[in-house]
Amino acid sequence: MVQTQSKIDSSQHEQIETKNPTTGQTYKVYDKHTKESAEGIIDKTHEAFLKWRETSLEERANIIRQIAQCLADNKDELARMMANQMGKPISQGKSEVDLCVNICTYTADNGPKELKQEERKIANGKGIVSYEPIGVILGMQPWNFPCYQVVRYSIANIMAGNTTALKHAEICWSTAQKLKQIYEDAGLPTNVFSVLYVDDETVDELISHEKVRGVTMTGSAKAGKIVAQESGKYLKKTVLELGGSDPYIVLEDVKLDEIMETCVRGRINNGGQTCIAAKRFIVLEDIYDEFKEEFVTAMKSISYGNPVDDEPDMGPLAREDLRNKLHDQVQESVKKGATVLCGGEIADGAGYFYPATVLENVKPGMPAYDDELFGPVATLIKVSNEDEAIRVANDHRYGLGGGVFSGNKDRALKLAHKIDTGMVNVNSYNLSQPSMPFGGVKESGYGREHGGFGIKEFVNIKSIMMSD
């Protein structure tokens, strides 16, 4: 499927050309599947399901353990692939693979008991609740975590006894190929995990395929609405993990020297290209000026450069159009009254770099307030008390993650319950935890992954009632 540019015969196939975001030069060129060939892959994935669903929970768990080992064995190669495809620094890529290993291990250890059938008392007999696989799950995954996003959804469904056809982001098709190889090298039967090399429009059309029983997607709210609408037409269940503009409330009783590194890391990790990044810092006025000074100083020190050789704090953004969109959002916000405290200018030279940036004086009607800034741009918002902090935190169409920083854990926990998001960190920043549910509310989507919840999103929870 991957070809060098010299081998392409454009008269026979439609191609996708991807760029190395560090250099702006061609990275790989791929042949796309036609809709008909993609439909054939889904048919084969369904055929694999008919056998895979008969495997025992223990057998599935054992293969997933082997996948964990194969992922660990290929960690260096996967990290380098991510650096070249979407600009992730090598160390962060290795950490991503480590998380994938942990997801596999957690799923293998806990999946069988999560899916074990239950007995319940019913009138005049015995009830059995079973968790049965349903078939082919169509997965649509983005580029920002090329390995994690795929492992997160696919391992849960493989454990449940489903099979899956993956449509990965085009710039990550090499990772999709590699993960398929890793899964099969670990013992997963052919076509239990399949890969579709199609564009967004074609994969939307594939939702109607009669063998597709469910659809899971991570991406923008705009794309999520299209997927939900198309899936609804055919009564296909969906799980959607969409955008976020996560609020982090900073209370006046916190020690800034204990939280500053966490705040910065929460904004610039993965170049800020994270749905659950710490994007909006809502700071009580008693500590606002001090927080601003220290945070801006720390953000100014953030380095960016070649993610392969230099091991900077940040690599480039994944694509030129994404970098340009982010800069347009910053400029539009400034035109409407926002103030740039650092950064805010496109870097000179090759590559899609953008510096760590801080904005203040952001208000409704600005992109920096209303939208998601998918890159290393933080906004600072001053508030007078806790009630205003909660109002501002919840004054957004997204509701994915968030956080509270306080010297009083009980106070922080009380506020955490009031933040209208699917996940909240207290005095910390976490990307995800295999043992905890992951997902959002409002336009951040619905459904949950991880923590045993994802395993049951696409199963038939069947009631069997037996009379005495």
193 and 118 inside one domain: yes
383 and 463 inside one domain: no
**According to the model, what pLDDT value does residue 9 have?**
35
Mean pLDDT (10-residue bins), the chain, 468 residues: 37 80 95 97 98 98 98 98 97 97 98 97 95 98 98 98 98 97 98 97 97 98 97 98 97 97 98 97 98 98 92 95 98 98 94 98 98 98 98 98 98 98 97 96 98 97 96
235 and 264 inside one domain: no
* Residues recognised as catalytic: 241, 275
**According to the model, what pLDDT value does residue 4 have?**
34
**According to the model, what pLDDT value does residue 13 have?**
66
**According to the model, what pLDDT value does residue 309 have?**
81
In this prediction the pTM is 0.95
65 and 214 inside one domain: yes
287 and 337 inside one domain: yes
426 and 369 inside one domain: yes
CATH number at residue 387: 3.40.309.10
Q: What is the number of domains present in the chain? A: 2
CB 259 within 8 A of CB 427: yes
Query: 439 in a domain, yes or no?
Result: no
User: Which domain, by its residues, includes 299?
Assistant: 246-433
21 and 98 inside one domain: yes
Query: 225 in a domain, yes or no?
Result: yes
Query: 226 in a domain, yes or no?
Result: yes
Query: 140 in a domain, yes or no?
Result: yes
**According to the model, what pLDDT value does residue 8 have?**
31
CATH number at residue 18: 3.40.605.10
Query: 366 in a domain, yes or no?
Result: yes
112 and 253 inside one domain: no
120 and 48 inside one domain: yes
62 and 174 inside one domain: yes
Query: 438 in a domain, yes or no?
Result: no
**According to the model, what pLDDT value does residue 100 have?**
98
Query: 288 in a domain, yes or no?
Result: yes
250 and 188 inside one domain: no
**According to the model, what pLDDT value does residue 448 have?**
98
**According to the model, what pLDDT value does residue 382 have?**
98
**According to the model, what pLDDT value does residue 5 have?**
32
96 and 135 inside one domain: yes
**According to the model, what pLDDT value does residue 176 have?**
98
**According to the model, what pLDDT value does residue 7 have?**
33
Query: 440 in a domain, yes or no?
Result: no
